[in-house]
Structure 1
Amino acid sequence: MSSQAVKIVDSGKLIILAAFRRKLGIDTGDTVVVELGEDGLHVRSLSSAVRRAQEIVRAFVPDEADLAEELIEDR
C-alpha cells in the first residue's frame, strides 16, 4: 500500500491526493464513508461501503432466499 504525508487544514479538513482519489474512484463532491479502526482512519467510496454491507448481509442469508420478495409479501 502506498502512503503519503498530508496536513490537516482549517476546519479539520484532510486533503486526499488526486492519485488516491482516482484509485478509490471518488471525485470532488462525492460522499465517502470514514471509519475509525484500531489501526487508523479508513476512507472508502460510498459504493464500496454499500458493496461491503451487501457482502456481510449475504453471508447470513441462504442463497435461495429472496429478501425483496419476502419484504413485498410481508407488506
Structure 2
Amino acid sequence: MSTDAGAETTVTPQGRVTIPAALRREAGIEVGDTVIVHVEDGRVVVETRDQLAARTRRDVARAGVRASVVDELLAERRAEAARDEAG
C-alpha cells in the first residue's frame, strides 16, 4: 500500500480513529507509544514525543536561537554572584 496519498478511515461514534498499520509503520509509531495530537493549519497532526522534540529542535535551530535559556540564566546568575562577591 502506498501511503503517499494517505489512507481512508472512519471516525467512530466515540470519536476514535484507527491509524492504518502501514501509516503507523511509516510514521514510526509503535504499539504502546504515547502520541501528541494537535491541530495545525486545520489539519489533525499525530506525532510521537520524540518526533515532537525533534521538530521543536529543528524549529528553534531555524529561528537562529544559539544558546539555551537555561545556559543564559546560569550565566546571568554567575555574573550576579561575581559582582556580589566583588562589591
Query: Unpaired runs of 5+ in structure 2?
Result: 79-87
**Which is richer in strand?**
1
Asked if residue 46 in structure 1 is aligned to residue 49 in structure 2, the reply is yes
Larger Rg: 2
Q: 1:18 is matched with which residue: 18, 21, 41?
A: 21
Distance 1:69 1:39 in 2: 36
Letter in 2 for 1:17: P
Asked if residue 33 in structure 1 is aligned to residue 36 in structure 2, the reply is yes
Query: Unpaired runs of 5+ in structure 1?
Result: none
Q: What TM-score do you get using the length of structure 1 for normalisation?
A: 0.71
Q: Structure 1 residue runs of 4+, over 3 Å off? A: 68-75
1:9 Cα deviation after fit:
2.1
